[in-house]
Amino acid sequence: MTTYNPPLKDIQFTLNEVANYPAIAALPGYEDATPDLIEAVLEEGGKFASRVLAPLNQIGDHEGAKWHDGEVTTPPGFKEAYRQFSENGWNGVGCETEFGGQGLPKLIGAVLQEMWKTANMGFSLGPLLTTGAVEALMLSGTEDLKHKYLPNMVSGKWTGTMNLTEPQAGSDLGLIRTKAVPQADGSYKISGQKIFITYGEHDLAENIIHLVLARTPTAPEGTRGISMFIVPKFLVNDDGSLGERNDVRCVSIEHKLGIHASPTCVLAYGDNGGATGYLVGQENRGLEYMFIMMNGARFAVGLEGISMAEGAYQKALAYAKERVQGRDIAGGKASVAIIKHPDVRRMLMLMKSQIEAMRSLAYYAGASLDLALKHPDEAERKKHQAFVDLMIPVVKGWSTETGIQLASLGVQIHGGMGYIEETGAAQYWRDSRIATIYEGTTGIQANDLLFRKIIRENGSTLRTVIGEMHHTISELSQQPGPDFAVIREALDRGVQAIMKAGAFFASTIMKDIKAVAAGAEPFLELMGIVAGGWQLARGAMAAQAKINAGETDAFYKAKIATTRFYADHVLSRADGLAYTVTNGAAGTLALADDDF
């Protein structure tokens, strides 16, 4: 059975000291979400995650979702857990109060998601997709559509999906072929096949609201001719009751490497004359709406990297303390727990330090998400939006890639037991593997970061961020002891590495766009490592402040030691990555296709 201890102490520390939660609670609209209330909410959320969701994680993996004749059955226990999840109000935590949500800050929604995901990633995807659909409707739906669909989606009575992918249209949504033909009554007849639809069919809720990308007959080719439609599984009558079954059918579900509990559906629209759909927003602007909403989805997937690493870490740590094997290398005849072996400790520290770095960066970016939405000053909102836009591909790309590596270390620490499925370590690794793929692969995040977020604006936000990093570096100079000196130097070198890479891009973009693109992924990795180290360093200074103020809890000393470890073991990769960015294109682009 999966056990999960919500890391509330580190979460609270990161929330308050790194992401400066008190400033979020002070934003207009969030006044009620006081730090005290949030502490209580997170404690309850942690209990739900550990007591209700975590016990179903392994059974969800083992049994998986099952398809039979168009119907999908979720694993044993999921239905009851989902009922409780909705009834307890967790589904609408981050949704607007207007439609029945709790209206809590996005940041708090993110923390809760981290916990759901660690406890049971397969379960968490249902509510995540619903939240995405709710946000898309909030952003671009008419009041009519909102009032008809949102209350039940926010409460969790109905769930939502996002229908983008088709067999020939994955990363390249311009190739979408699903058709939407306008009808006399203002509705549309939708027909086509969508694949990889998460929770596209299931038995958790009485209705499923599909958001579907499709083309109207007059739509231009490519990405500019895509519109967004609501296609409910059951049509909804004007009085809100459920009407006819719509013409959408789950043809099959995929047999996947992981997240077995989450049904990944092939949906056929319009096999019997066309599914009834309703246009969301304006025609041909579907992709634009999807992209606005996608920021949230990508951020959430970034959290999955953290979650899988956290779950893997907790399991590996428990095993390392309990498994007795070998003697202490410094001497002694007695067999010792393997945590005593320096290499096991190194692996645990790689996990711990990178989890804390990823969490710090994600929460810091999450806070900016709220500041971008709610800050009273428009210039501040803009500044934070720019920061969020820059950081989302980093949080998504870097955290998910790192999540896989750390889940792999979790397997490794278990030795042979890690390879046995019953142990549960392997599940984190398998589940983590999807997160670098869906909602845009790492390569796509890297291109988004470099071309859309940096080059398009000539690096202005990046320069601002580098300025903030320099500020942190100068603050680090004021801190006592050798650990901070090491941290300061490593961060300084990391920032220099980013600047070197940036200078290369600036001088190359007009001459050789392929050489720039060849460096995108190593640059994303570099940005993640350095930005994570930056936020970790801010946390270490906050910990030092606590110590200065007389705090004796070892937690604070450990924060500093963990950051120092990160400097020596992770930030130390920055130079090599900058080298690869600035020199690596020739090798990447040298071969003809047939020479591979």
Please report how close the Cβ of residue 204 comes to a copy of itself at its closest, in angstroms.
Answer: 22
235 versus 499: smaller Cβ distance to a copy of itself: 499
Question: Quick one: DSSP state of residue 574?
Answer: H
For residue 492, the 8-state DSSP code is H
Two structure tokens written together for 152: 């039940």
In three-state secondary structure terms, 522 is helix
State how far Cα 265 lies from the chain centre: 21
* Contact (CB, 8 A) for 525 and 401: yes
Residue 451, number of CB atoms within 10 A of its CB: 16
Which helix (H) or strand (E) is 501 found in, with range? helix 481-508
In whole angstroms, the minimum distance from the beta carbon of 219 to a copy of itself comes to 17
Least Å from the CB of residue 343 to a copy of itself: 4
**In Å, how far from its chain's centre is CA 313?**
18
Residue 316 is encoded by which pair of tokens? 């590996």
**With respect to a copy of itself, which residue has the nearer C-beta, 285 or 557?**
557
Report yes or no: 120 and 48 within 8 Å, Cβ to Cβ: no
Residue 592 CB partners (closer than 8 Å, separation 6+): none
Closest to a copy of itself by CB, 175 vs 506, is 175
Cα separations (Å) of 493 from 42, 51, 87, 500?
37, 44, 50, 10
C-alpha 305/C-alpha 309 separation (Å) is: 6
- Closer by beta carbon to a copy of itself, 385 or else 432: 432
* Catalytic residue from among 401, 439, 521, 525: 439
Which DSSP letter does residue 332 get?
A: -
> Among residues 48 and 523, whose Cβ is nearest to a copy of itself?
523
Distance CA 568, CA 581 (A): 21
* 27 DSSP assignment: S
- Catalytic site residue 288? no
Question: Which is nearer to a copy of itself, 156 or 424 (by Cβ)?
Answer: 424
CB of 144 to a copy of itself, least distance (A): 34
Task: Tell me the closest approach of the beta carbon of residue 273 to a copy of itself, in angstroms.
Answer: 29
Q: How far is 378 from 26, CA to CA, in rounded Å? A: 16
The residue type at 563: T
Tokens 């400066």 label which residue? 20
Least gap, CB of 90 to a copy of itself (angstroms): 27
Q: Catalytic amino acids? A: 439
